[in-house]
Structure 1
Amino acid sequence: MSLATLTRLALAGNRTDAARVALTALSALLATLAALAALTVLAIEKPPGDAWQQSEQYVSDLLSQPGLRGGTAFALVLLTIPVLALAGQSARLGAPSRDRRLAALRLAGATSGQVSRVAMLETGFASLGGTLVGLAAYLIGRSVLHRPDANGLLALPTDVLPPVSAMAAVVFGLPVLAAAATAVLLRRVVTTPLGVVRRAGRTGSPRPWPALLIGLGVLAAAMIEQIQWALQGAGLEWLALIALLGIFGAVMGVIFGVGWISHLAGRTLHRFARRPAALLAARRLTDDPWASSRTFAALLAALIIAGGAAAFRASFRLHAEIEQEQNRQAGYGGEIYYNPFYLDTMNLVDLAVAVAVVIAVAGLFVTLVEGIVSRRRAYAALVATGVPRATIGTSIVWQVLTPVVPAVLIALGVGYAIGRLLTGGVGRGGPQPDVPLGQLASQGAGAIIAVLLVVGLGMLFLRSNTAVEELRAT
């Protein structure tokens, strides 16, 4: 099969396939913008002078101070985690109809490898379109936003451009990564002329081994001071890498741990529930506990970052209070000499976390609607046998909320623990910041409320997908 034929087949499909391609392209666009923004921050040249010589052409200290630029780029890279999770969730949209289309290609004589390449090309082309649009938006935005103020200072680093090789690596590397991820996801799938067969994958109940990843992530944060002492002279890059690996391990541990939580919640519901809705949810949770890990991956990643940001804010607030008190005792007037830079910076971090949560909730909505559409025949059969739609809707609420509530608490707790260990106290034996219970509670409650709103919107698709006519759907 020629490349032109593969390309034509990859671009074919119905409206659901078009929606999947559009969401995949949007995810690639957002990831491209975040990655290019991080590269731009890192591309700022250090002016002549000592290691701490500032770049005076910028308004924000995040850009002018060389010691803060690495953290700014790191935060931008973290924003790509929920975006990439959204891409993974978008790839599942319309999966049953795509499977039937691939099976039809097998019936027409295509090999299993060829239909796999069709799926890979579809994802790769969608991602390439998104990255190209993202590159164009970045270049146009860089030109439009290059507006020095009255003092000639810039709000954004629009005077620098990342190396062309680095930009090309982002624009062309993300589609290759997306296509490779599709190949990995299809490794247990065999497309036959009569349909799609999945090889035996995970069997048995999930185990709590992801707790080991969480423990390693927290341990890396706890040992950061000792590692810094051991790597004296090695630069901050190694510390940033160790911190990033620790955070990534903790994120993966929480995400994979939701599978174990879902299975345990399903068994508990099955044992104690008496209502049909809870029993239906219990069976779904025990049959496919890993679905929750896929569904809430982006949301939990964003909440871990939110918990860490809350720890940093509490530490900065304590430093500000100590600085104000010292200024009062010295007779300088704390309100005059207090520098609110770090607390103001945390406002930007909170805004970035809010954007990440919005992206994660969008991915959750895509996954929820896809779940309703893919199981429409089973739901229609239940309705045909007399099960009220309200019962099915309530079972979906049970299925979503039962694992997500403990998962949200664990994600915030892990994020706060890592952030607290990275910030440390104010000197050895000094005062320690209070636990920001109010902020953590508002973040957790906001995430759960957002999930409830998404479930409510998803219920709008339930009636149309539980009609008796769906029993004749192919």
Structure 2
Amino acid sequence: MKTKLGWADALWLARHRTPNDRLRFWGSALSSAVTAALVCTAAGLVALGPATVESAIGVVTEPGTRVGVVIAVLLVALPALHLTGQTWKLGSVERRQRLRQLRDAGAGQRELRRVVFADTVVPVAVGAVLGVVLLGVGIALLNLRGSFRPMYRESAEGVMVPTGQYTLVPDLAVFPNVVVASWWPSLLAVGAVSALAAQSAARSTRRLDRPQRRRPSLLGFAAARAARTANPPAFLLAWRRLAEEPRTTARPAILLGLAALVAGSSTWFRRQFRVSLGEQWTQDTFFTQSFTLVTLATWVGIGLCALGLVVALADAVLRRRRADAVAAASGVPVSVLRRALLLQAMLPAVPTVLAGLYVGGGLAVRFTGQYAESRSANPAQVGELIPLPWAEWAAWGLGIIVVAALATLIASTNLRRTTRVDQLRIPA
């Protein structure tokens, strides 16, 4: 006879968590809050419609440029969504074992689904609601005093030029409050994030007894071939782990490469516009403001990618804790395991980031050409050869790689716990 397990019992089971469960709970809540806030921002900008709005941020004012902001926010939401998906998987091995025990005790498929929903959907939904609420409150506080607008004067040529002074306009919003722009953006954000969590929870209950199959991938094949000739222990461990679990670091590497592509293209567009506009670049804040927002959005996306890499590697370390404990007990230094983890993340990330910079910068140069164009009334010399921004591209590449390396080192701190002798009692 099957055990009757209602929603109250499922919530009670979800509240009694292990340390890994607590990490998954708070990680899911925080990451879903960020994801819901980004989705709500994009949907709220769409809800503003074709009308012109009053905002201190010029790219949001006009409906034509607002479309680009929506696309940029959705691109930033991709690493946030990946981070949320990674946090759902924290401690998945332990949770699968508990679900099997409940099923052996008589719980049916419906009861198991209730437990998983209470463990997954509840923190995600709560985090999504808090993310939308905090977004609305934050924008309201940002717009409370109004915004500063630059002052202009008429030059001798009859052209309005900025004076360098700003005046406070109380009724001018810094950014339109997208949460209250319409009734549906906040509901869409919370519902979309919660629905994705519910779908993931339902799939996990149907795959309790399904063996983990390794899908063939180019990275796994290349890593398996490289492991045959690897001599240093750290490289050997890293190649073998990439061959066994290529998707652990492949997805964060792809997202980092996408961020590098945006960084490479935006760096060239910024230089090309700055040279082509001439004095108008310093007189009109629209262009500097726009490219500054692109840079800020790119770094936010890189930070979210780094957090996703931390979660993915931390989960991989927890899954391999018995193997790492066996390796440490047999004489392998923890420093070697730490270097292997660093190489496991860097080997796919470095070429992907460099390729993203090369493709993004190359396509941008090919699109605009390497010569200055006439974009204002008094531009720089038309036809002037614009030097390639090698220093900026190198700084972007180095910065992204350093952020990924720091994320890996943060995840490697779990090796102190997973290489202890008591981890040898973990079932194989």
Match of 1:409 in 2: 354
| Range that drifts further, 358-367 or 6-15 | 6-15
C-alpha displacement at 1:5, in angstroms? 3.6
DSSP-derived class of the 2:41 partner: helix
Q: CA offsets, 1:444-472, max 9 Å, x none?
A: 11121122223333333223321222112
Q: Is the counterpart of residue 455 in structure 1 residue 405 in structure 2? A: no
Counterpart residue identity of residue 26, structure 1: L
C-alpha displacement at 1:12, in angstroms? 3.9
Counterpart residue identity of residue 323, structure 1: L
Question: For the structure 1 residues 185 and 80, does the alpha-carbon distance in structure 2 shift closer, same or farther, using more than 3 Å as the test?
Answer: farther
**Which residue, 211, 215, 237 being the options, matches 1:280?**
237
Match of 1:21 in 2: 25
Match of 1:75 in 2: 72
**Which residue, 266, 270, 277 being the options, matches 1:313?**
270
Question: For the structure 1 residues 159 and 18, does the alpha-carbon distance in structure 2 shift closer, same or farther, using more than 3 Å as the test?
Answer: closer
**Which residue, 105, 119, 124 being the options, matches 1:108?**
105
Contact 1:266 1:281 in 2 (8 A): no
Cα distance in 1, alignment partners of residues 203 and 406 from structure 2: 33
**Which residue, 198, 204, 207 being the options, matches 2:211?**
198
**Which residue, 146, 149, 167 being the options, matches 1:148?**
146
| Range that drifts further, 339-348 or 72-81 | 339-348
Question: For the structure 1 residues 295 and 432, does the alpha-carbon distance in structure 2 shift closer, same or farther, using more than 3 Å as the test?
Answer: same
C-alpha displacement at 1:368, in angstroms? 1.9
Counterpart residue identity of residue 38, structure 1: A
**Which residue, 96, 100, 124 being the options, matches 1:99?**
96
Contact 2:125 2:194 in 1 (8 A): yes
C-alpha displacement at 1:105, in angstroms? 1.1
Q: CA offsets, 1:82-139, max 9 Å, x none?
A: 1001111111212222222212212211235643553344222121101111222133
Cα distance in 1, alignment partners of residues 363 and 103 from structure 2: 50
Q: CA offsets, 1:416-471, max 9 Å, x none?
A: 45555666777799778654322222111112112222333333322332122211
DSSP-derived class of the 2:219 partner: helix
Q: How does 1:58-457 map to 2 (within 5 A)?
A: 58-112=55-109, 114-116=111-113, 118-146=115-143, 147-149=145-147, 150-151=168-169, 152-158=171-177, 161-184=180-203, 189-191=207-209, 197-198=210-211, 200-202=213-215, 205-206=216-217, 260-271=218-229, 273-317=230-274, 321-324=275-278, 334=279, 338-417=283-362, 419=364, 434-457=387-410
| Range that drifts further, 443-452 or 137-146 | 137-146
Match of 1:231 in 2: none
C-alpha displacement at 1:80, in angstroms? 0.7
RMSD of aligned alpha carbons? 3.0
Counterpart residue identity of residue 267, structure 1: R
DSSP-derived class of the 1:190 partner: coil
Q: CA offsets, 1:380-414, max 9 Å, x none?
A: 11122222223222222222222221121123334
Cα distance in 1, alignment partners of residues 400 and 103 from structure 2: 43
Cα distance in 2, alignment partners of residues 132 and 160 from structure 1: 11
Counterpart residue identity of residue 42, structure 1: V
Contact 2:31 2:80 in 1 (8 A): yes
C-alpha displacement at 1:298, in angstroms? 4.1
Q: Is the counterpart of residue 33 in structure 1 residue 37 in structure 2? A: yes
DSSP-derived class of the 1:99 partner: helix
Contact 1:58 1:154 in 2 (8 A): yes
Cα distance in 1, alignment partners of residues 393 and 32 from structure 2: 30
Q: CA offsets, 1:283-336, max 9 Å, x none?
A: 22222222222443543343333233224323323xxx2333xxxxxxxxx479
Cα distance in 1, alignment partners of residues 120 and 254 from structure 2: 20
> Number of aligned pairs?
393
Counterpart residue identity of residue 466, structure 1: T
Contact 2:47 2:181 in 1 (8 A): yes
Contact 1:123 1:175 in 2 (8 A): no
Contact 2:38 2:77 in 1 (8 A): yes
Q: Percent identity?
A: 29
Cα distance in 2, alignment partners of residues 62 and 13 from structure 1: 46
DSSP-derived class of the 1:198 partner: coil
Counterpart residue identity of residue 138, structure 1: L
Contact 2:36 2:189 in 1 (8 A): yes
Q: CA offsets, 1:202-254, max 9 Å, x none?
A: 2xx42xxxxxxxxxxxxxxxxxxxxxxxxxxxxxxxxxxxxxxxxxxxxxxxx
DSSP-derived class of the 1:292 partner: helix
Counterpart residue identity of residue 60, structure 1: I
Q: CA offsets, 1:314-359, max 9 Å, x none?
A: 3323xxx2333xxxxxxxxx47985352233111211111122112
Cα distance in 2, alignment partners of residues 95 and 352 from structure 1: 32
Cα distance in 2, alignment partners of residues 463 and 267 from structure 1: 30
Counterpart residue identity of residue 342, structure 1: F
DSSP-derived class of the 2:208 partner: strand
Cα distance in 2, alignment partners of residues 181 and 387 from structure 1: 37
Tell me the TM-score normalised to structure 2 length: 0.81
Match of 1:212 in 2: none
Cα distance in 2, alignment partners of residues 383 and 170 from structure 1: 45
Cα distance in 2, alignment partners of residues 145 and 338 from structure 1: 26
C-alpha displacement at 1:185, in angstroms? 6.0
C-alpha displacement at 1:180, in angstroms? 1.4
